Chain A
Amino acid sequence: MDKMPAWADAVLVPLISILLAAGISALVILAIGENPVEAFMIMVKEALSTSRGIGYTLYYATNFIFTGLAVSVAFHARMFNIGGEGQAMMGGLGVALVCLYVPWPHWTLALFGAAAISALFGAAWAYIPAYLQAKRGSHIVITTIMFNFIAFSVLNYILVNVLRPQGSMDPATAKFPEATFLPTFQSMFSTADNVMFRNAPANVTFFVALAACVAVYFLIWRTRLGYEIRAFGHSETGARYAGISPVKITIVSMLISGGLAGMMALNTTMGEAERLVLNATEGAGFIGIAVALMGRSHPFGILLAALLFGFMYQGGSELAFWTNIPQQLIIVIQALVILFTGALDNMVRMPLEKLFLSIRKGDA
């Protein structure tokens, strides 16, 4: 018998975790002498009340959808891919190469080309840790962490020594050609007399991210591969019995995971910066962990969680302008979300299970 109803497991537990995280964040704000309610109102106002704010929120959310999906696919195969950051960096490198060196006639083709290459680069960077896990049993958490640092060094070297334009001091590539510029929400939704999403970085990649949610949903819940990934995640011995190759599933799910993380570069590098900079990922690979945990590794949950984090990032960075609350508050909130939904899950779950058991006993 299940200890509590499915809806409680899917909705109540994460909800309480988030409330706990929010409560502690409010205490932190109080402790540094600011008003949490006011801070929240500012966040809402700056992130949600104008189309520009929404444009920023959606821009951040796009990143988090990709990295959240990436982490979730690996989670389904019971692997913890901390390497989203490095995989996204490599995805960026792929995007930069195709944007700079392929003469694209139109942005639509460039988007397809860049999507393919970013996924390919991200997947390639995930391949070695995946291979080592599958064949040599090297713990994928450690290897993916190491690969984040290695990716940074590789990117640093390439930007400084290879792709940096002559005379520039900045470790970044040249501006991409105009044909690769992606339509922003401003250009897509503004009319002649009404400018929407002014200067907001949200761009067409958001819809690619939505499509990725749908694709991952079908992959995990409706295809045979998804069936095998989940089966392997639940029980490796069971998978062996059923003729599901652990090596294949480990590698394939990590390739998908790395590919999704790599595609994040479409948004940051192609959609926003229009050149590759060293710190393009800005920790989004790690936020994917929080997003996947909060979204229960389900694409719909991930979408919601990514929107919430998008809101927090936009609202949080505006807070720094209007109050004395530094932007790092978001990192604290993010830490608390990961802590409560990921590591302290049982702290919330155990009392709830007891509660439901006693309610059931009361009924009987």
Chain B
Amino acid sequence: MDLNTIIQVLDSSIRLSTPLLLACLAGLFSERAGIFDIGLEGKMLIAAFFSAAITFTSGNVWLGLLAGIGASLALSAIHGLASITFRGNQLISGVALNFLASGLTVLIAQNWFKQGGRTPTIPEEQRFQEITLPFADALRDIPLLGPIYSDLLSGHSALAYIAFAMVPLTWWVLFRTRFGLRLRAVGEAPDAVDTAGVSVVGLRFAAVAICGVLCGVAGAYLATSLQAGFVKEMTAGRGYIALAALIFAKWRPWYALIACLLFGFLQAVALRFQNIDLGGIVIPVQAMEALPYILTVVILAGFVGKAIPPRAGGEPYVKER
């Protein structure tokens, strides 16, 4: 394997990690506040559709991004209504919203574009443009570091850079701000937050909204950056991989980065190589695809470092006397 191939695979890993990372951080905000969200998939999907549809019709990719975020927020609002206001089962709500997105996207796509449940292809110039980092061209010829900078780190869309910048930002918000302290507290002990005179409902809705925004960006990235339009079920389980990454990361931002890069890398390898021959042992592509899920189960089982979710996660908050 030459350097070029390695760079290409790694570059592809970054592209594939980006939506995972956004969705994973989205889930992190929600679950840190005590709201389980297995509806990441659905929010990404509906955002992917609306961002593609609006980008195509308006010709403005930023408007598309906004539309995607708006659609994702709408699902977040339902999730909040069900799990916070009406204290329903958060897992069931998540399942329902995934189906809702899956059905609605095709239904509306068919109604608007009549192309069998997809949007038309968005022309190259209307999509998010690849950003060339400063001096990328000049530095390309430096051995090793040149290609890494120019071909691997440079040349991604704005959304990818936003995604990676979200990691330190999330860390900072969670651990250095008042909002972060309260957010973490509400996922651990909502009664403590409530008796301290802070609104549990308000905090949880804020967290669910942030989750909606990030899933919206993730969906827009899929449809207007990674690919050129919306196709049916285009998230292809990424929401669940993000969920797996979140558990793998034990609900921490920097670990989330590592988990998403790892899972993105596995996807990139599976895409590029069908079967991998490791000195006589052939690893089938299906094993590569299943690996993120298997790793998550192993982590969940606690054989390798136990993943302990936020204490109040999944439980609706009811005031007690």
Is B247 a contact partner of A332 (Cβ separation < 8 A)?
no
Residues of chain B in range 257-288 having any CB-CB distance to chain A below 8 Å = 284, 286-287
- The answer to whether the Cβ of B300 comes within 8 Å of any Cβ in the partner chain is yes
B 72-106 binary contact with A (CB < 8 Å = 1; else 0) = 00000010011100111111110111111011101
- The answer to whether the Cβ of B158 comes within 8 Å of any Cβ in the partner chain is no
Q: Which residues of A contact B99 (CB under 8 A)?
A: 286, 331-332, 334-335, 338
Q: Which residues of A contact B287 (CB under 8 A)?
A: 153, 157
Closest residue on chain A to residue B90 by CB atoms: A343
Return B25 CB to nearest CB of chain A, in Å. 18
Q: Which residues of B contact A33 (CB under 8 A)?
A: 111
Is A157 a contact partner of B286 (Cβ separation < 8 A)?
yes
Is B97 a contact partner of A335 (Cβ separation < 8 A)?
yes
Name the segment of A62-70, A107-115, A133-141, A231-239 touching the other chain. A133-141
Closest residue on chain A to residue B288 by CB atoms: A153
- Cα A343 to Cα B90 in complex, Å, equals 7
- The answer to whether the Cβ of A245 comes within 8 Å of any Cβ in the partner chain is no
Is B86 a contact partner of A347 (Cβ separation < 8 A)?
yes
Residues of chain A in range 59-102 having any CB-CB distance to chain B below 8 Å = 80, 82
- Cα A142 to Cα B108 in complex, Å, equals 30
Name the segment of A144-152, A173-181, A260-268 touching the other chain. A144-152
Is B117 a contact partner of A326 (Cβ separation < 8 A)?
yes
Residues of chain A in range 118-144 having any CB-CB distance to chain B below 8 Å = 128, 132, 136-139, 141-143
Is B107 a contact partner of A149 (Cβ separation < 8 A)?
no
Is A149 a contact partner of B100 (Cβ separation < 8 A)?
no
Partner of B38 from the list A137, A138, A145 (CB cut-off 8 Å) is: A145
Is A335 a contact partner of B100 (Cβ separation < 8 A)?
yes
- The answer to whether the Cβ of B297 comes within 8 Å of any Cβ in the partner chain is yes
- The answer to whether the Cβ of B122 comes within 8 Å of any Cβ in the partner chain is no
- The answer to whether the Cβ of A330 comes within 8 Å of any Cβ in the partner chain is yes
B 209-222 binary contact with A (CB < 8 Å = 1; else 0) = 00000000000000
- The answer to whether the Cβ of B296 comes within 8 Å of any Cβ in the partner chain is yes
Q: Which residues of B contact A291 (CB under 8 A)?
A: none
Is B82 a contact partner of A343 (Cβ separation < 8 A)?
yes
Interface size on A, residues (CB 8 A): 49
- The answer to whether the Cβ of A161 comes within 8 Å of any Cβ in the partner chain is yes
Is B95 a contact partner of A32 (Cβ separation < 8 A)?
no
Return B205 CB to nearest CB of chain A, in Å. 16
- The answer to whether the Cβ of A346 comes within 8 Å of any Cβ in the partner chain is yes
Is B286 a contact partner of A335 (Cβ separation < 8 A)?
no
Partner of A132 from the list B78, B98, B293, B297 (CB cut-off 8 Å) is: B297
Is B91 a contact partner of A80 (Cβ separation < 8 A)?
yes
- The answer to whether the Cβ of B203 comes within 8 Å of any Cβ in the partner chain is no
Closest residue on chain B to residue A128 by CB atoms: B297
A147-B297 in contact given A326-B107, A344-B81, A344-B86 (Cβ < 8 Å): yes
- Cα A339 to Cα B92 in complex, Å, equals 7
A 285-299 binary contact with B (CB < 8 Å = 1; else 0) = 010010001000000
Residues of chain A in range 322-356 having any CB-CB distance to chain B below 8 Å = 324-326, 328-336, 338-339, 342-347, 350
- The answer to whether the Cβ of A51 comes within 8 Å of any Cβ in the partner chain is no
A contact set with B: CB distance below 8 Å: 28, 32-33, 80, 82, 128, 132, 136-139, 141-143, 145-147, 149-150, 153-154, 156-157, 160-161, 286, 289, 293, 324-326, 328-336, 338-339, 342-347, 350
Between A and B, 28 residue pairs with Cβ closer than 8 Å are A32-B108, A32-B111, A136-B301, A138-B302, A141-B38, A142-B244, A142-B247, A146-B293, A147-B297, A153-B289, A326-B106, A328-B107, A328-B110, A328-B117, A332-B104, A334-B103, A336-B96, A338-B95, A338-B99, A339-B78, A342-B92, A342-B96, A343-B89, A343-B92, A343-B93, A344-B82, A346-B86, A347-B88
Question: Can you list the 7 inter-chain pairs with the closest CB atoms, starting with the nearest?
Answer: A331-B103, A343-B93, A335-B99, A332-B103, A342-B92, A153-B290, A335-B100
- Additional A-B contact list (14), CB under 8 Å, known A32-B107, A157-B284, A325-B107: A82-B91, A132-B300, A136-B302, A142-B300, A154-B290, A293-B92, A328-B104, A329-B103, A331-B100, A332-B103, A334-B103, A335-B99, A343-B83, A350-B86
